[in-house]
Amino acid sequence: MGDPTVVGSKQGTDDMMPLAIGIDIGTSGARAVAMRPDFSIAAQSTVALERFGANGRDPAVWWEAVASALAELLAGIDRAAVRSIAVDGTSGTLLPVDSAGRPQAEPLMYHDKVSDDTILAAVAREAPETSAAHGATSGLAKALWFQRLPGVARMLHQADWIAGQFSGRFDISDENNALKTGYDVEARRWPDWIAATGMRMEQLPDVVAPGSVTGRLTPSAADLFGLSPDVAVVAGTTDGCASFLATGAIEAGDGVTALGSSLTIKILSDRPISAPRYGIYSHRLGDAWLAGGASNSGGKVLAKHFSLARIIELSAAIDPMTDTGLDYYPLGTAGERFPIADPALPPRLEPRPQSEADYLKAMLEGIAAIEALGYQRLAELGAPKLTSVRSVGGGAANAAWTAIRQRKLGVDLLAAFSDEAAAGTARLALMGASEAGLL
């Protein structure tokens, strides 16, 4: 495990084209994609964090994985063609650093909770209801916790710190990563109420739009990777936003459904959508907005009843053009957050038909109905009418489920350009290179 996969060649006319590199640092590893201006992928690589140690919280491990993935990527392309680099990371992961960018404590990861009641009460008291900074896992709660430490100069998100290894800048973030730390993406500034929580505002990073050029490679980074020091370092985004961008969804009304262990839907909107009751807030992507929600239904419910091999076998026997007539709401346990906000909502998986294929079909129908209701709910909250859906995640490969979803959604299901978050970040790197006149 951990052996990188590289796709690409130094040969051919396509490889004379300029390239932008997107890097995704996640919970399991680092991925890198080299993209041409026509959005075609010249090369990609993947390296597992495990190769560099068991502690996935160690920033040194993050950087070693990123450096290895980038080195493997560059081995398959013309380094002289590289014009820009951008990074995405896990949303809500925060790291306190000194003025030179040296970590001052182990980071708090995206899912880590701050247990200090005083901090949580201060955020709850001061933050507007619509802010994404609420909750024990928010970036702001983590920043308030870390500011107690000596030697801290700045609070950086995971992607910010990795980008700093390339640019030497440890004082800057992007609008998407800063959202859960309390940044006001509509006003495009850190709001005054944050200071009222006790936060030292000088420790918060400067914030720019994703795709903005933030600097150039440092001489040491350029030497390390054999790249020109003129390569632009471009502001990245969160892993979730990068995954959306990777699909090629670019128009208002374009939706992306992630069919993984849970069911997550997102839509590109021409206006921000905020609905705390459903856990919905909006990321800013230029002049557009990315809004969405996550259901407790999804693949993990299917996995409680069927093995993957059995799902594949039974799916081949399903007629997706007919309905079972069973009105399932597949949940693993009681409780739903979106598109129905009810912590006590019970699973509905009865009556059970005798046929296992029909049972699976009814569950697939139920999850598809939840997906359709989710997009309907977003429209009720102000999002544009759904015009198309691209699908990512393991469930996207199930042809029977795809046909069932097509009927329930009533819109075209388009092929995703890529399901690699790094490809979405490479699009931002292309944007930055274009704006800087490097393409």
CA dist., res. 327 & res. 90, Å (int): 36
Nearest to 161 by CA among 246, 90, 68, 56: 90
Q: Which pairs from 153-156 meet CB under 8 Å and 24+ separation?
A: 153/97, 153/98, 153/99, 153/203, 154/96, 154/97, 154/99, 154/203, 154/204, 154/205, 155/94, 155/95, 155/96, 155/97, 155/181, 155/203, 155/204, 155/205, 156/94, 156/95, 156/96, 156/97, 156/101, 156/205
And the tokens for 41? Answer: 């992928």
**What angle separates helix 59-74 from helix 158-167, to the nearest 10 degrees?**
60
Q: Quick check: helix, strand or coil at residue 22?
A: strand
Per-residue pLDDT tens over the stretch 100-135: 999 999 999 999 999 999 999 999 999 999 999 999
CA dist., res. 7 & res. 154, Å (int): 38
Question: DSSP letters along 109-162, please?
Answer: PTT-----HHHHHHHHHHS-TT-TT-STTSHHHHHHHHTTSTT--EEEEHHHHH
Q: Residue 324 in contact with residue 358, Cβ under 8 Å?
A: yes
Give, rounded to a whole angstrom, the gap between the first and last alpha carbons of the chain. 36
The pLDDT score that the predictor gives to residue 187 is 96
The pLDDT score that the predictor gives to residue 10 is 38
The pLDDT score that the predictor gives to residue 294 is 92
From first to last of its 439 residues, the chain has per-residue pLDDT tens of 333 333 333 334 455 799 999 999 988 899 999 999 999 999 999 999 999 987 889 999 999 999 999 999 999 999 999 999 999 999 999 999 999 999 999 999 999 999 999 999 999 999 999 999 999 999 999 999 999 999 999 999 999 999 999 999 999 999 999 999 999 999 999 999 999 999 999 999 999 999 999 999 999 999 999 999 999 999 999 999 999 999 999 999 999 999 988 999 999 999 999 998 998 999 999 899 999 999 999 999 999 999 999 999 999 999 999 999 999 999 999 999 999 999 999 999 999 999 999 999 999 999 999 999 999 999 999 999 999 999 999 999 999 999 999 999 999 999 999 999 999 999 999 999 999 999 9
Per-residue pLDDT tens over the stretch 135-192: 999 999 999 999 999 999 999 999 999 999 999 999 999 999 999 999 999 999 999 9
CA dist., res. 26 & res. 268, Å (int): 23
- Phi/psi of residue 179, nearest 5 degrees: -60, -50
Sign of CA dihedral 101, 167, 287, 376: negative
Q: What's the predicted TM-score (pTM) here?
A: 0.91
Token pair 């040491």: residue: 220
CA dist., res. 188 & res. 199, Å (int): 18
Residue 255, Cβ neighbours under 10 Å: how many? 28
Q: Residue 177 in contact with residue 126, Cβ under 8 Å?
A: no
Q: Give how far Cα 127 sits from Cα of 134, 142, 168, Å.
A: 7, 15, 32
429 φ/ψ sector (left φ>0, alpha ψ -120 to 50, else beta): alpha
And the tokens for 4? Answer: 């990188």
Q: Quick check: helix, strand or coil at residue 230?
A: coil
The pLDDT score that the predictor gives to residue 15 is 57
Instruction: Decide the pairing of beta strands 412-414 and 288-295.
Output: unpaired
Q: Quick check: helix, strand or coil at residue 342?
A: strand
Domains of the chain (ranges, CATH numbers) = 13-241+421-435 (3.30.420.40), 249-414 (3.30.420.40)
DSSP summary character for residue 364: H
